[in-house]
Amino acid sequence: MHLAPARISARATRTHVGVYPFSPPAIDALAADLVGFSTSKGTVRFSPEHPLPDDVLDRLVLFRRDEIDAMRTR
């Protein structure tokens, strides 16, 4: 059985929510939209008081989907 790569994951802690697209290029592609949020190579962190805008999350998921689709067509 072949499992597809994970598209995106999220985890809540006491202090923040982490979104994990498993893709440094996805973080880089949306860097301008992520100013003011804590980011690292494959993570975006935000708090309930300063949530990640829905349109940014949508674009992050779509970027990752397109990235996975491109891997499948190679």
Strand arrangement, sheet containing 43-46: 9-12, 17-20, 43-46, 38-40
Our count of domains for the chain comes to 1
Write the CA distances from 38 to 5, 16, 60, 71, integer angstroms: 24, 10, 15, 28
Does some domain include residue 5?
Answer: no
Q: What is the pLDDT of residue 13?
A: 94
> Quick one: pLDDT at residue 71?
84
Is the residue at 3 inside a domain?
no
> Confidence class of residue 62 from pLDDT cuts 50, 70 and 90?
very high
Quick: pLDDT tens for 12-59: 999 999 999 999 999 999 999 999 999 999 899 999 999 999 999 999
Domain membership of residue 9 (yes or no) is no
Q: Establish if 52 belongs to a structural domain.
A: yes
The residue segments making up the domain with residue 19 are 14-72
Residue 18 lies in a domain: yes
Sequence-ordered alpha helix ranges (H) in the chain:
24-29, 54-72
Decide if 7 is inside a domain. no
Specify the CATH number for the domain of residue 42. 3.90.1150.200
